[in-house]
Amino acid sequence: MARLLYMVEHFPPEMSTGRLEFELSQELIKRGHTVTIVTSFPRPYFLESPYPNKGRFVYWERLSGLRVARMGPEFSERDNLFMRGLEYFLSFFSFFVGGLISGPVDVILCTTPPITHAFAASLLGKLTRRRVITRVVDVHPRALLELGFLRQGTIYQILRLMEKLVYRNTACLTTISNGLGRNIVEAGATPEKVVIVPNWGSAEGFHVSERPVSLPPRVAGKFLVTYAGIMSWPQDLETIVDAAARLRNEKGIHFLLVGDGPQHELLVEKSKKLRLENLDFVPLQPKQEYLRILHASHVCIVSLKKEMVSLSFPSKMLDIMACGRSVLANVPTGEIVDVVKDANCGLSVEPQKPDDFAEAVLKLYRSPDMAERMGRNGLEYMKQHFTVEAAADRYEKIVERLTKH
């Protein structure tokens, strides 16, 4: 059995962004491996109460059988871009130190972005003569450039150099879709290093509690259209609010926005200005409650702005499929749209077009049997293609291959 060090930016209690790494680690532990996690402190808006020992440079804890090192520093309370950028670079040093003090390991695993963590893992691998597996879920720094967060300047060139060195020094590059795999190769990776390991749905979604979910009273008996997740600029949540305004006279339809994030207050204010009575906001929920809300909904939303070219599909879409609910994909053309079409598990619309979004909601509302059938299709498709057990099988084979050389 292998001793694994896993370096990942976010981890529970941040379930929306750290769920996959947590579930993969849990599955590997079940199979007899040892997993040590190096991660950051959870962001405050994902917590119901302040996290203990926040402010320390390193804090060790035990979490569901995992040995976890929380690394500081943290400067940003609400995703201020400048402070997040500062953390982006400083976290390279803290994660490198976290890896050094984690004890002997056989293989180092990391998830990128941010590319600075992958760079720390690659240098640690060089120093300790251990093989590194890098799990690539987005191509940085190119994605930052395309989104306008970076310009073609010194910082971009530094990050691009880090990316090249990561691809050169990493023994294996896993990624979640063929599209991302092609982008990694275009960015300089050796094709032979790239292995496709898709994301997976939450097994908890198969066994959602039947206990009544706590929702606003005016939701009762309505056709519920739900977005649940982080509320930030890339998610195009303004389109959902605008669509709700267009459907305000459809008394049988109600919208629900669940979660928190940098755009939350702006969305609430917009809803108040529009005087929407068919839209409610619900705070960020624990994992089981989040899944129960998805299960209580009729349609669940995956949403990205048109600038966010979709080369993969987010874990929240797999949660929706695991709960047997139809997907309304408000996303650019890409892997998400392809899966919705292949699985026949929902409808897709072009982002930032509230009229089209509203029309899709009406279509599902007026054809409840179709919406229910699409939900069942998504569940069956997920069971066949996207499970943590299948992902762990692939990672075990990679680890076995790397430890033999």
- Do 30 and 78 belong to one domain? yes
Question: Which tokens hold the place of 34?
Answer: 């040892």
d(CA 321, CA 199): 12
Q: How confident is the model at residue 91 (pLDDT cuts 50, 70, 90)?
A: confident
> Strand (E) positions, 52-204?
58-63, 66-71, 107-112, 131-136, 172-175, 194-196
Give SS3 for 36: strand
Q: Please answer whether residues 219 and 256 qualify as being in contact, where contact means their C-beta atoms are separated by less than 8 angstroms.
A: yes
- Do 195 and 279 belong to one domain? no
pLDDT tens digit sequence for 246-276: 999 999 999 999 999 889 999 999 999 999 9
- Do 192 and 217 belong to one domain? no
What is the model's pLDDT at position 193? Answer: 94
- Do 113 and 222 belong to one domain? no
Q: Please answer whether residues 103 and 78 qualify as being in contact, where contact means their C-beta atoms are separated by less than 8 angstroms.
A: no
Which is higher by pLDDT, 301 or 42?
Answer: 301
**pTM (two decimals):** 0.70
What is the model's pLDDT at position 220? Answer: 87
Average pLDDT rounded to a whole number, residues 355-367 = 97
What is the model's pLDDT at position 312? Answer: 62
Q: How confident is the model at residue 85 (pLDDT cuts 50, 70, 90)?
A: low
d(CA 167, CA 170): 6
pLDDT tens digit sequence for 286-345: 878 888 999 999 999 999 998 776 556 677 888 899 899 999 999 998 888 989 999 999
What is the model's pLDDT at position 182? Answer: 87
Give the number of domains in the chain: 2
What is the model's pLDDT at position 1? Answer: 86
- Do 356 and 270 belong to one domain? yes
Which is higher by pLDDT, 51 or 193?
Answer: 193
Q: Is the pLDDT of residue 14 over 80?
A: no
- Do 283 and 181 belong to one domain? no
- Do 230 and 366 belong to one domain? yes
Question: For residue 146, what are the domain limits?
Answer: 3-200+387-403
Q: Which of 91-95, 372-376, 389-393 has the highest mean pLDDT?
A: 372-376
Q: Is the pLDDT of residue 32 over 90?
A: yes
CATH number for the domain including 249? 3.40.50.2000
- Do 122 and 161 belong to one domain? yes
Q: Show the CA angle centred on residue 404, arms to residues 402 and 405, nearest 5°.
A: 75
What is the model's pLDDT at position 141? Answer: 66
- Do 356 and 296 belong to one domain? yes
What is the model's pLDDT at position 50? Answer: 64
Give CA 276 to chain center in angstroms: 29
pLDDT tens digit sequence for 133-155: 999 988 776 766 666 666 777 88
- Do 259 and 396 belong to one domain? no
| Backbone φ, ψ for residue 365 (5° rounding) | -65, -40
Q: Please answer whether residues 312 and 287 qualify as being in contact, where contact means their C-beta atoms are separated by less than 8 angstroms.
A: no
- Do 222 and 350 belong to one domain? yes
Average pLDDT rounded to a whole number, residues 79-96 = 74
Which range, of 56-65, 94-103, 167-176, 307-316, averages the lowest pLDDT? 307-316
* Percentages of the chain per state (helix, strand, coil), in multiples of 5: 45, 20, 35
DSSP line for 179-211:
HHHHHHHHTT--GGGEEE------GGGGG---S
What is the model's pLDDT at position 302? Answer: 95
Which is higher by pLDDT, 221 or 18?
Answer: 221
Which is higher by pLDDT, 309 or 369?
Answer: 369
- Do 180 and 275 belong to one domain? no
pLDDT tens digit sequence for 191-238: 999 999 988 876 665 555 555 567 888 888 999 999 999 898 889 999
What is the model's pLDDT at position 212? Answer: 57
Q: Is the pLDDT of residue 404 over 90?
A: no
